[in-house]
Amino acid sequence: NRSSGKQGYAIAAALERCGAEVTLVSGPTALPAPAGVTRVQVGTADEMLAACHSALPVQVAIMTAAVADWRPAEAAPEKLKDKATRTAIELVANPDILAELSEAGPDRPKLVIGFAAETENLVDHARAKLTKKGCDWIVANDVGGTGVMGGDANTVTVLDAGGEDAWPTLSKDEVAERLVERIAVTLG
């Protein structure tokens, strides 16, 4: 999809500015690494999962990446020659990185935060995702209109077990600042 990585990079930069030690696990993007942040670049969901596990233990994990749910079962080492007869590509499920990091265990971060891009029934779908993935908060954004993907503004609702906070439309930097503030308050 057209996810740019801007929101995740803005959050990494905002955390670093408030004094956190930050590891930014990033899929392919042209964005420069924010100053003071350790960036680990990955190309696949399996690599992203491994890099996230290697970054543990951490106090907070924030998962903004738009990971593909599926990948081709086989990657061809050479150019495919039978394209005239090929009608389908077999897919297998990618690991759900957010759900795996949310699993209780000695290394589970105190706060696991997921994102949910939805096109309709924002809050209902995001609340279902909170339960299904086992994370602590979901930051839900409505991507039904144009402009969020790749743009600089974002309109989000933050959900947790206690309720939901609908924030006004803000820049992605402002969403990042506000999220970091909420994290700092929650962790005392």
Per CB under 6 A, 69 contacts ligand C5P: yes
Residue with tokens 């690494």: 33
Q: β-pairing, 137-142 with 156-160?
A: antiparallel
CB under 8 A, 24+ apart: contacts of 67-76: 67/27, 67/94, 67/96, 67/97, 68/94, 69/93, 69/94, 70/94, 71/44, 71/45
Active site residue 1: yes
Question: According to CB under 6 A, which residues from 8 to 47 bind ligand C5P?
Answer: 45
Q: β-pairing, 23-26 with 38-41?
A: parallel
Per CB under 6 A, 111 contacts ligand C5P: no
Closer to ligand C5P by Cβ: residue 50 or 85: 50
CB of residue 81 vs ligand C5P: minimum separation in angstroms? 31
Per CB under 6 A, 120 contacts ligand C5P: no
Kind and range of the H or E run holding 118: strand 111-118
Kind and range of the H or E run holding 8: helix 6-17
Per CB under 6 A, 98 contacts ligand C5P: yes
Per CB under 6 A, 126 contacts ligand C5P: no
CB of residue 4 vs ligand C5P: minimum separation in angstroms? 14
Helix, strand, coil percentages for the chain (3-state, nearest 5): 30, 25, 45
Selected binder of ligand C5P within 15, 58, 60, 63 (CB under 6 A): 63
CB of residue 133 vs ligand C5P: minimum separation in angstroms? 6
C-alpha distances in Å from residue 164, one per residue of 1, 123, 161: 27, 8, 8
Closer to ligand C5P by Cβ: residue 51 or 67: 67
Question: According to CB under 6 A, which residues from 77 to 96 bind ligand C5P?
Answer: 94, 96
CB of residue 51 vs ligand C5P: minimum separation in angstroms? 12
Closest to 157 measured CA to CA, from 99, 97, 115: 115
Interface contacts to ligand C5P, rule CB under 6 A: 45, 63-65, 67, 69, 94, 96-98, 114-117, 129
- Residues assigned a catalytic role: 1
